[in-house]
Amino acid sequence: MPVYTWSGYTEKGKETGGIIDASSIGEAKLKLRSQGIFVKKVVEEEFEGGAPKGTKAWSVKNLFSRVSTEDLAIMTRQLSTLVSASIPLVDALGALYEQLENPLLKKTIAQVRDSVNEGISFADALSQHRRIFPDLYINMVGSGEASGALDVVLLRLAGFIEGQHRLKSKISAAMVYPVLLFVVCIVVLMYLLTSVVPKVVSMFESMNQVLPLPTRILIGISDFLSSAWWVILIAVLAGFYAFDRWRHTSKGSMTFDKMRLKMPVFGKVYRKAIVARFARTLGTLLASGVPIVDAMGIVKSVVQNRVVEVSLDESISQIMDGASVALPLKKSGIFPPILVHMISVGEKSGRLEDMLLKAADAFEEDVETAVTGLSSILEPLMILIMGVSVGFVVMSILFPMLEMSQIVR
């Protein structure tokens, strides 16, 4: 459906504007008049990548326009504040539209506002934009609308999104330096082997004598990389492509996710991260009034691991047959005993969501500690590997030079 940018005046004479969906300019004007807007101007807009056509469409900002987790969290918190101030939802969305800077989110909120103004529920309006609002978001909003506590649910949802973003940012930040060191190591070695070593080799060839073994190995590696670097590049790209295709098959995704859970050292951290995400998401959904079966179904899509998804499918079936939440999770063997015990205690005491959120806090702290520890180990390890690699290249060049100096003497 076409999107129109409009400007006009309210019944009180205040200048206003926004974006509206309509099949034609005439329908757009009728919609606005029914809302008590005196229309001044209506212009059709074509959106490319989330930004209006003709407004720096080829800028880097618009080219990569998207709604980040941080944008979504800020928007949700602002909307919660507006709703808690007893501002009608349509007016709150209109005020939110004026504050937003992200063009894609701005356009989406305008469309959601128009849908709500036409009588559609807020959750149903959000469900029309699932690329931006996940099932978890939509279900929590629906629960908030049904219970009359939309402001509380939005505030809880904002906290949840911010917490997930904070954890992800800490993990990413901790791994940046080791990854950077690895990239620098590869670049330095490639430069030495393809540019520096070949120039030195020509000098060695004029010596007409047997070179030391490390030097011969270095020359062999250098010759191979210099002549067949494009073959290696194609092989690496083809390997990544084949791996990605295999990973997205049913069997491949299951096998890959099993490997990730069983990896030495990293597997434990990855498992803790999944458990933390499971507990945080399920606890937040239950606290917002989402039924346990629906909440488990949403959590299944959040964990992003096929092995855990299959386990949760089985758990949902058993829960629907009358089993407790803790029992099928215990049988799966994936979730740690401490989490199962806390869930069991929470079920018996009627405080399941509180116990899940406490468990999430504990596991998230464990993940942060483990990632920091891994980073502190990887940093010196990468420096050592880089030093040994460069040292091998340097010594392989120096050995023949030392032999030459002895012959001259």
Q: Tens digit of pLDDT for each residue in 242-283?
A: 999 998 888 888 999 899 888 887 888 889 889 998 999 898
More confident site: 400 or 250 = 250
- pLDDT tens-digit profile of 6-51? 788 887 777 777 777 677 777 777 888 887 888 888 777 654 444 4
pLDDT at site 322: 87
Section 189-208 average pLDDT: 75
Q: Which of 180, 202, 214 is nearest to 389 (CA)?
A: 214
For range 77-90, the mean pLDDT: 89
- From 300, 288, 298, select the one nearest 140 (Cα to Cα): 288
Average pLDDT (153-158) is: 88
> Would you state the pLDDT for residue 103?
84
Q: What is the pLDDT of residue 186?
A: 85
Q: What is the pTM of this model?
A: 0.70
* pLDDT, tens digit, 9 for 90 and up, residues 345-384: 999 888 899 999 999 999 988 988 888 888 888 888 888 8
pLDDT at 358: 92
| 19 burial level (CB within 10 Å; 0-12, 13-18, 19+) | buried
Using one digit for the tens of pLDDT, what is the confidence trace for 315-326? 999 999 888 889
Q: How far apart are CA 98 and CA 79, in angstroms?
A: 12
pLDDT digits 0-9 by tens, 212-249: 788 888 888 888 877 877 888 899 999 999 999 998 88
Q: What pLDDT sits at residue 54?
A: 41
Tens of pLDDT along 143-152?
888 878 888 8
Average pLDDT over residues 291-299: 88
Which pLDDT value is given to residue 20? 73
- Per-domain boundaries in the chain: 1-45, 163-409
pLDDT at 48: 43
Confidence of residue 294 (pLDDT cuts 50, 70, 90): confident
Mean pLDDT of the chain: 82
Query: How many percent of the chain have pLDDT more than 70?
Result: 90
Report which residue type is found at 123.
A
Q: Is the pLDDT of residue 72 over 80?
A: yes
